[in-house]
Amino acid sequence: MTRKETVERLETAVYTVPTDAPEADGTLSWDSTTLVLATVRCGPVTGIGYTYAPAAAARVIDDLLADVVVGRPALDVPGMNEAMQRAVRNVGLPGVAAQAVSAVDIALWDCKARLLDLSLADLLGAAREDVPVYGSGGFTTYDAERQDRQLRGWAQEQGIPRVKIKIGESWGRCEERDLRRVAAARASIGDTTELFVDANGAYGAKQAVRVAAVLADEGVTWFEEPVSSDHLTTLARIRDRVTADVTAGEYGYTLPYFEHMLAAGAVDCLQADVTRCGGITVWLRAAALAQARGVDISGHCAPHAHAHVAMAVPNLRHLEWFHDHVRIERLLFDGVLDPVGGSIDPRGRTAPGLGLTLNNERAQRYRVS
């Protein structure tokens, strides 16, 4: 290829996949998940990126972002990211617009790597040998048998040495059941597997501290969003009073959000979601902000969108192997990764870029627009 290769087209598609059982966390319930796919066409190659977002994200891409990237040099991804962020100024970047930018940014990086016939991990450059993952699910709607089966599947069958369940059921009103489920989770996985919990901001501040004391007895080492991540001062105070690592950041849609969270001393490990924060371009910058403060970063959900960029940062702690998104990515794409043993390495795949190819035959039944 030459530097004359330009982005020729940007297209979208929307897929909605029902869950395999009713699901809920501490503050929300759902029975389906929507994936918005961005496809970049450039000369002989096609790049894909995606976000888990409402179909409105596709409209943002079609109406506001396509004209911004079409015709620009395909190698200049950071420049296109900046142009896209400026293009959504009046509609507001945080939220759906940031998710739209993220999907396109991922597609542009995939396209660039494919033009150079490299895996994205090789294009970015590896800073580590592999990417540790943790099994994530354990929804509050699960009964004891389903939770046990899922946790044992990760810990025993796949050899993943760290798992996470949801707590904070019904905005923290089912505290006793939360604690019973944590105890049951520990019994399922044994003493050698790390146990994480995620309250999705459901608890009050003092309630979170009380719950954390019991969690410590079960060896819980990761307490995600004990309170809303909107309240950074409160999150920081809880962090000072509990033994588990306090983590948050999945709702970061802009780089300043992560700087504010780090400056507040609110987290022991920063979470960032490549499908929300502005894509691979911004995720790398968030990781650098965290590293400058001696803080690790963890990839939130969408494991195949994170796998390559996660290889590129030295301060990565792990990547969330989230039940819903793993299931959807296996349904829609060929080239998915295997987490057996507790880590993945996306290099050396058959296909360059992200290593993913949309399977149109399987995907078509879920397409809604």
pLDDT in tens, 263-287: 999 999 999 999 999 999 999 999 9
* Pairing state between β 29-42 and 162-166: unpaired
3-state secondary structure of 237: helix
Contact at 8 Å (CB) between 289 and 99?
Answer: no
Structure tokens given for 6 = 């330009």
Residue 1's pLDDT band (cuts 50, 70, 90): low
Each residue's pLDDT tens digit, 221-265: 999 999 999 999 999 999 999 999 999 999 999 999 999 999 999
Residue 4's pLDDT band (cuts 50, 70, 90): confident
pLDDT at 339: 97
pLDDT at 341: 97
Q: What percent of the chain has pLDDT over 70?
A: 99
Mean pLDDT confidence for 4-29: 96
Residue 88's pLDDT band (cuts 50, 70, 90): very high
**CA contacts within 13 A on the Cβ side of 304:** 30
pLDDT at 129: 96
Each residue's pLDDT tens digit, 101-111: 999 999 999 99
3-state secondary structure of 292: helix
Is the confidence at residue 316, as pLDDT, over 90? yes
Buried-state track 301-337, b at ≥16 Cβ within 10 A, e below 16: bbbbbbbbbbbbbebbbbbbbbbbbbebbebbbebbb
CB count in 10 Å sphere of residue 348: 9
Mean pLDDT confidence for 173-198: 98
Contact at 8 Å (CB) between 166 and 323?
Answer: no
H or E, element range at 21: strand 9-24
Residues 6 or more apart from 296 whose CB is under 8 A from it? 268, 269, 270, 290, 315, 316, 317
| pTM tops 0.85, yes or no | yes
Mean pLDDT confidence for 337-347: 96
Residues in the chain: 369
Residue where the block lists tokens 């940062």 = 313
Structure tokens given for 359 = 């399977």
Task: Give the residue among 308, 339, 310, 309 at the shortest CA–CA distance from 322.
Answer: 339
Residue where the block lists tokens 């990839």 = 299
**CA contacts within 13 A on the Cβ side of 368:** 14
By mean pLDDT, which of 65-69, 237-241, 311-315, 350-354 is the weakest?
A: 350-354
Q: What percent of the chain has pLDDT over 90?
A: 97
Is the confidence at residue 3, as pLDDT, over 90? no
- The CA–CA distances, whole Å, from 275 to 37, 72, 157, 286, 321 equal 11, 22, 29, 13, 15
